[in-house]
Amino acid sequence: MQTTTIPTGKATHDVRNQTGWCLIGCLPPSRQLMRSVVDCEAFVIGRRPGVNLQVHSPKVSGRHAELLTIGHCLFIRDLGSTNGTYVNRRRIRQPTPLVAGDHIELADVEFRVELDGGLTHEVVHPQLKNTCQDIDTIEDEWVLSQLDRLIRERAVTPHYQPIVSLIDSDATTGYEALARSKMCGFESPFKMFETARIANREVELSLVCRQRAIEIAPQLPARRPVFVNTHPTESFTVDVLPSVRNLRRQIPDVPMVVEVHEAAVHDAHSVREFRAELKDLDVQLAYDDFGAGRSRLMELVKAPPDYLKFDASMIRNVDQASTQHWRMIKTLVELVMEFDTRPLAEGIETTEEVQACRDLGFTFAQGYYFGRPADPKSFAETTALAN
| Residues 207, 260 within the same domain | yes
pLDDT at 25: 87
Kind of pairing, strands 364-366 and 159-165? antiparallel
Q: Which of 126, 94, 92, 117 is nearest to 106 (CA)?
A: 92
pLDDT at 7: 35
pLDDT at 383: 53
How many C-beta atoms surround the C-beta of residue 88 within 10 A? 14
How many C-beta atoms surround the C-beta of residue 80 within 10 A? 10
pLDDT band of 382, cuts 50, 70, 90? low
The DSSP secondary structure of 328-364, one letter per residue, reads HHHHHHHHHHHTTPEEEE----SHHHHHHHHHHT--E
Task: Please tell me whether the peptide bond between 29 and the residue prior to it is cis, using omega within 30 degrees of 0.
Answer: yes
Residues of the domain holding 107: 2-122
| Residues 115, 211 within the same domain | no
pLDDT digits (tens, 9 = 90+) for 31-59: 677 889 999 999 999 999 999 999 999 99
Residue 301 forms part of a structural domain: yes
pLDDT digits (tens, 9 = 90+) for 243-287: 999 999 999 999 999 999 876 777 788 889 999 999 999 999 999
CA–CA distance, 225 with 211 (Å, rounded to integer): 15
| Residues 272, 343 within the same domain | yes
- pTM across the whole model: 0.69
Residue 58 forms part of a structural domain: yes
* CATH (domain of 46): 2.60.200.20
* CATH (domain of 353): 3.20.20.450
The pLDDT of 302-312, averaged and rounded, is 91
E strand or H helix at 207: helix 202-216
Total domains in the fold of the chain: 2
- For a pLDDT cut of 90, what percent of the chain falls above it? 57
| Residues 246, 376 within the same domain | yes
| Residues 161, 23 within the same domain | no
pLDDT digits (tens, 9 = 90+) for 369-381: 999 999 998 886 5
| Residues 156, 222 within the same domain | yes
Residue 333 forms part of a structural domain: yes
